[in-house]
A and B are shown apart, each in its own frame.
Chain A
Amino acid sequence: HLIERSWYAVTETCLAFTVFREDFSPRFVAMFTFLLFLKCFHWLGEDRVDFMERSPIITWVFHLRVAALLMFLGIIDAFFINHAYYSTITKGATVQLVFGFEYAILLIVVVNVFLKYVLHTIDLQSENPWDNKAVYLLYTELFLGFFKVILYMAFMAVMIKVHTFPLFAIRPMYLTMRAFKKALNDVIMSRRAIRNMNTLYPNATPEELSSGDNVCIICREEMVSACKKLPCGHIFHTNCLRSWFQRQQSCPTCRMDILRAPIPTGQQQGQQTPQQQQQQQQQANMMPGQGPMMPQFPGGFPMFIPPMVPGQFPMQQQQQPSTTQPASSTTATPTTSTSTQPTAVPGGAATTYTMPGSTMAGFPGISPYMMPPMFSPPFTPPPMPPANFAGMNDEELRAMEGIERSHVEARVQCLRSIHTLLDAAMIQIQQYYSLMSTMGPQANMYPAPASASASAPAPGVGTTPAEPTKQSDSVKGETQAATSEKPSSLQSDEDLSDLEGAVGFTPVEEVIIPEYHDEPVDEIDHQEIRRRRIERLESETNLAALDKESETK
C-alpha cells in the first residue's frame, strides 16, 4: 500500500502548490520530493514496528535499525519544522507554512511509532504477558490522535486567514478525525468492558478451573488464574475477555448476549408452562433481564377453560344485549365489550333471579358461556420480577428496569395486558354468577340432572362466597373457573393480599355482588363476610388505581 499512499501524498501536495503558485520553483520541487521521500520512511518505520508483534524472531539488529531510523526521522522533522517556522516569521506566509505543517504531522507520527516501539520492547523483554499493554496502546492512540486533530484545526484556521480554504487538507483531516473518533470509542468501550468485568461477573473458582477442559478459547492457553465466568457458564481469561468485550458484548463460545442475559441467580423456564409452573414462576426469581420486559401474552389468557359447555345445560339461554356500562371496562380492552345481560330462564320463577347490578361481558354473537376462540392459546406469563429485590444490587436493578423508551413502552404494554387479563377474569366471574343464579331455581325445581350437578352441585346461594376467591385465583392463572366450591373465606383473604402487587387492578369495580331476594337463614354469615370483602377490595382498588397512575406517568 506504499504506492497508494504515495499517490495520495503527491496529489495533495500538488493541490497545495496551486495555492502557492507564485512560490513555484525548482527548489520547491526538490523540497517536495524530499518530503515525499521522508514520508515513505515514516510509513516504513510504522510497518517495522507493527511487524514486531507479528514475528517470533526479533534480533538486536532489528532493534538497532528501528531505533536509529526513528531517531533520524525525528531529528529531520524537528529541523524542518524549525526552518519553516523561521521562514514564516521572517518572510510571511509562503509555501513553507504547508511544509512546516506536514513535518509537524510527521513528527507526531514518529512520536507515536516510538511509543509503540517502547511498549512492544517492554512486552518482549518481560517473561509474563503484560496485560495492560493494550490499554496503554489505546491511550497513546487517543492522545496523539487528539494532538493531530488540534494541529489540523490550527492549520485550517491559519490557512483560511492567510489564503483560502485549504482543499488539499480535507482528506487527511477527515481521516485524522475518524481515527480519533475510533480511538475515543475504543477507550470508552474498553472502560465499559473493564467495569462490567469487575462488577457483573464472578471470578472463576479454582475448582471450576481445574475441572475438565480449562483452555481459554480466545488465546488457546491454559487458564490458571485471573479468569472470569460468564452467566452462561463459560470461563475465559479476564484479559482475553476484556479485549473481546471491546468489540462485542457476547459470549465468544455460545454467543449469548451478555448484556441482556439473566443474572446467574435467575431461573429460566420454558414458555408453554402448565398451571403449576406458572405459580412457580411467580415465586422463583425470574429475572426479566432479557431486554425490555416483553409482555408475552398477546391475546393469551391464563388457562381459561370454558367453565361450562353450553351443552351441559338443559335449559335454553336468551341473550338480551343491552347498553354498555361505561364505568367498568376501559380502553385497553378492545376485545371485551361489556353489556348487561339479565339471563332469563324459561321456567317462570327464574326471572326473580336476574341480577340487578351485575354486568355481563358478552361477545357479540357468542354465548357468554363459551370462551371466544381467541382465548384458547395457552397463557405464557410475562417474566415476573423476583418477590424480593434485596438480593440484587443497584446495578442489577437498574439493568432490570431499563430507561429507554422501549422499556417504558413495554412496561405500559405489560400493564395493559394485565388489565385485559383482569377484564377477562371479570367476564368469567359474571358468567359464573349468572350460571349460579340460573342453576339455583333449576336445582330447586327439578331433581338436578347429573351433568349439571357435577359441574355446579350446590344451589347458587351456597357457592357465592367462593366468588372473590375465583377472581384472585384466575388472576394468578392457577384456577380453572370450572372448579367450583372453594368455600374457605380465609383462603380468599390470603389470596387478596397477594393481589396487592397487581397494579392496574381496576376492573374490580365490576364485581357487584348480586342481591338475592330470598335468602336462606344461614346466608347471614356469608353476607357479612362478603360485605367485609367488598370493603377490602374497594380500598385496594383505590390503591391500585393510584399505583397505576403513577406508573403510567
Chain B
Amino acid sequence: MAGSALKRLMAEYKQLTLNPPEGIVAGPSNEENFFEWEALIVGPEGTCFEGGVFPAKITFPPDYPLSPPKMKFTSDMFHPNIYPDGQVCISILHAPGDDPMGYESSAERWSPVQSVEKILLSVVSMLAEPNDESGANVDASKMWRDDRQQFNKMARRLVRKSLGL
C-alpha cells in the first residue's frame, strides 16, 4: 500500500487530467516521483499577462496534504506576489501559523481542503489582481501602484519572452 500522500497526489492528478481547468496544465514531471510537479499557466485574458504561458514547479512535502506545497515559476516573472527567484507568495500556500508577511487571515490559509487545482486557480487570479500589500517583490509592488504603464510594459515583455519571441 502506498503512502497516503502519494495516494492523494495520484487522485488529484487523475482529477486534473479528467477535468482540466481552463488555462492550466499540471502533472508530475516524471511518473516515478509524484512529489515534483510541473505546471503551465496561461496568463489570464484581459490582463497584462494575457497570452503568456508560464511554466512553474510545484514541490510537495512528504506530509502532503497536511502541509502545503511550494510553487516556483521557472520562467522570469515580475509580479508583486512572486519573489525574484520565482517563488509564489500567496496565502493559500502558507500553513496557518507561519505568515511571512503578517497580513493574511488564517481563513485563506492552507488546509487539506485545498488542492493543486485550487492553488493554480488562485495563482491565475493572483496574476490578474496582484495584492500589493505583499512584499514578495517590492519593486514590482511599487511599480504596480505608482506606474501601471511601466508595469504593463514589463509584463508584456515577459509574455513575449515566455512564448520564445
Contacts and interface: CB of A to CB of B under 8 A. Distances in A.
Interface string B4-43: 1111101110000000000000000001111100000000
In the complex, the 4 A-B pairs of residues with the closest C-beta atoms, listed nearest first:
A218-B112, A53-B3, A54-B35, A252-B112
A54 B6 CA distance: 6
B163 interface: no
B31 A129 contact: no
A219 B4 CA distance: 7
Contacts of B33: 51, 54-55
Contacts of A130: 1
A247 B64 CA distance: 12
Interface string B44-70: 000000000000000000110111000
Contacts, number: 75
B91 to A, nearest CB: 13
Interface of B: 1-8, 10-12, 31-35, 62-63, 65-67, 95-97, 106-107, 111-113
A51 B5 CA distance: 12
Contacts of A458: none
Interface string A214-249: 000111110000000000000000001001101110
Interface string A511-543: 000000000000000000000000000000000
A57 interface: yes
Given A53-B62, A54-B34, A129-B4, A244 B106 contact: no
A56 B9 CA distance: 10
Chain A: number of interface residues, binned into ranges:
20 to 34
Given A53-B6, A129-B1, 17 more contacts: A53-B2, A53-B3, A55-B6, A128-B1, A218-B8, A218-B66, A219-B4, A220-B8, A240-B4, A243-B63, A246-B66, A247-B67, A250-B96, A252-B111, A253-B111, A253-B113, A255-B111
A553 B92 CA distance: 47
A126 interface: yes
Q: Tell me whether chain B's interface is mostly helix, strand or loop, or mixed.
A: loop
A111 to B, nearest CB: 20
A404 interface: no
Contacts of A124: 1-2
A56 B10 contact: yes
Contacts of B34: 54-56
Most buried by B among A54, A221, A247: A54
23 contacts: A53-B2, A53-B5, A54-B3, A54-B6, A54-B33, A55-B6, A55-B33, A55-B34, A123-B1, A124-B2, A127-B1, A128-B1, A129-B1, A130-B1, A217-B113, A218-B112, A219-B4, A219-B8, A221-B7, A243-B66, A246-B66, A252-B111, A255-B96
